[in-house]
A and B are shown apart, each in its own frame.
Chain A
Amino acid sequence: MDSFIEQAGLGDILAKVRAEERLSLEDGKRLFECPNILAVGYLANIVRERKNGNKAYFIYNQHINYSNVCTNLCKFCAFGKEKGHKQAYEMSIEDIKQKVRERLDEPITEIHMVGGIHPDLPYSYYLDALRGIKEVRPDVHIQAFTCVEIQHLADLAGKSVGDTLEELKEAGLGSIPGGGAEVFSPRIREITCERKLDGEGWLRVTKTAHRHGLNTNATLLYGHIETIQERLEHLDALRTTQDETGGFLAYIPLAFHPKNTAMSEHSRTTGIDDLKNIAVARLMLDNFPHIKAYWVMIGPKLAQVALSFGADDMDGTVKEEIITHMAGGESEQALGHKTLIKLIQEAGREPVERDTLYNVLETF
């Protein structure tokens, strides 16, 4: 098989991968630019199997988007709405609790809750939301509020990020999702999300969370105006941070969905680009334990194939996903437990139901 990799011009990178040497940004550029997705995937699969063997993880989770009201109004987002917009909504604490109550008969282990940067919900709302969820479902792990929201909550509270995180933890926060990272490049943020917390700020909040014992995830929003160099600098910043703290659980490349956004002139990402973002990330992020193929964004078929291109996690059953679907996401809103297990098995992997922190709950 090595001859195929050499023919694709990646023989030296294969040697580095085998020797577990860290890849340079230049290596990353060659991987992104390599026209042979099989060769890139093959290399990523070596790392994937080294780190996670034949396991493919999934989680039984529930998504709650407490409000779409947002002052940031990023150009790539179809979800955020100005306050007063006819599609704007915000859930009361009781609404949130009701959402949790409705699915108490399901074996959900994680609630994933994010929203926008709301102009006037008070700090107490967020604490009450966490407490409310825990009241209805005490055992559930709450993964909530991106680093962008955390910074906003700290500003609302008039406290340090660290103190704010401690209070959120006390109220029930278990970990932090990877959203809001977008692309760290100041050029991209200036064009697409100038009002959002900047890349340095995002990383600062992340490191603080890690120091306070909260694990987090990381993302990259790809497939719009970012360059390969900008993708790689983003990955490099994540890798450096992980070297410092070790607090990241998973990296999740997020495919840009243009429909209904202010950037709708862009094409949707292609299958090759989706696989490449997973594979190159697996190769570059040598210190990340997990790479997730988020099926809501790339579709269950490609997410399944991605299990051979570096990904070891398919996320979860996910119901009522709104953010991607408002931007024209066409995948199903929920995949049954059984369907996920079958997809994983058909791909020759071992399905493992995990909790948020990747503890094994059940293997199939």
Chain B
Amino acid sequence: MQEIIDRVVSGDRITGEEFLCLDKEADLYQLGFMADAIRKRLHPESVVTYVVDRNINYTDICISACKFCAFFKAPEDPQGSMLTREELLNKIRETQELGGTQILLQGGLHPDKPLEFYEDMLRFMKETGIHVHGFSPPEICHFAALSGQSTKDVLKRLMAAGLDSMPGGGAEILNDRVRNMLAPRKCSADHWIAVMEEAHGLGMRTTATMMFGHVETMEERLEHLQRLRDLQDRTGGFTAFIPWPFQPDNTALAAATPIEKTSGFSYLRMLALSRIFLDNFDNIQASWVTQGPKIAQVSLFFGANDFGSTMIEENVVAAAGVHFRLSEQEIKHLVTDAGFEPRQRLMDYSPAS
């Protein structure tokens, strides 16, 4: 163990085997001290960043019906809805008035909107000048299937229409056993990676996520991290990694099998393990939306160097019964109280002003 610790602290990469060894044998402090040492090496200036943005879900109508999701409405459900242009514009304006710099835009995999619909939506949004951090690999795959075009061509067209960057959603766990159990209609692990690689190849920056704490094994979490690290070695296109635990309330998955919510302790361990393994990711985000402000603040000592977003609006986690809210002022207070300087950033982690 001491040998692994020494190597990690001196900046060496760990193998998958060593990752599993750390998971089994390292205690909370060993993981925390290692993750903290890496964070300090990558971010010696003691700054914790955050972005001011809003999640906009253009529709909750979704053909994917993932078992871990409490947000979607099936296409035949009369309660499903689509935002109007006016609603979209109002939300963007409100965001800008609050000093927001970007919109995180995500569906729903809508059953029949053509690609032109999304292009129009992007052009319309870009008239406001806001940064659009939008869609995700499953949406790109879905648009490609509907339009009969390649995912690369879909990406090119969306970029031409104004898509600035892409969030790493829909990764869940990048293992097809898990995906077949939870989200059989969502794109495969290979497709997720392929779309991200294409996006990076086209010069687009993206993030990567992981939703853990449901049916996956630790080996499958490792497979997920390994695939991300390998892709990052090839492209360098990921700006950040954002792990968060599955939130079971109101989901089909939790109704079918009782799944205990991942505890704060396990979250901090996983965060630290991710920071240690993903040596080629500059930034790791804390998930206050799922963990609440207290654990999110503590996670700044377990590898996180970014507080995520103010999320002026958030719908998906809220649908799963979790309703933490934080203002920009509260985020700044938490960061300062933890001994760091808070700094507003843009999607690419450059300073907002």
Contacts and interface: CB of A to CB of B under 8 A. Distances in A.
Does B bind A? yes
Contact of B294 (A270, A308, A339): A270
Contact of A38 (B264, B296, B301): B301
B3 interface: no
A348 B27 contact: yes
B33 interface: yes
A299 B294 contact: yes
A37 interface: yes
B130 interface: no
Nearest to B298: A271
Contacts of A37: 298, 301, 338
B315 interface: no
A348 B266 CA distance: 10
Interface residues of A, number: 31
Contacts of B5: 1
Contacts of A267: 330, 333
B294 A347 contact: no
A273 B339 CA distance: 11
A73 interface: no
A346 B298 contact: no
A25 to B, nearest CB: 22
A347 B30 contact: no
A72 interface: no
Contact of A270 (B29, B260, B338): B338
A337 to B, nearest CB: 14
A1 B29 contact: yes
Contacts of A347: 263, 265
A4 B33 CA distance: 7
A271 B295 contact: yes
B29 A304 contact: no
Contacts of A315: none
* 5 pairs of A and B residues whose beta carbons are closest in the complex: A271-B294, A301-B264, A35-B339, A271-B297, A4-B33
28 contacts: A35-B339, A37-B338, A38-B33, A38-B301, A41-B29, A45-B29, A267-B330, A270-B293, A270-B333, A270-B334, A270-B337, A271-B294, A271-B298, A272-B337, A273-B337, A274-B294, A275-B298, A301-B294, A304-B265, A305-B264, A305-B265, A305-B268, A305-B295, A307-B265, A308-B28, A339-B260, A342-B263, A347-B265
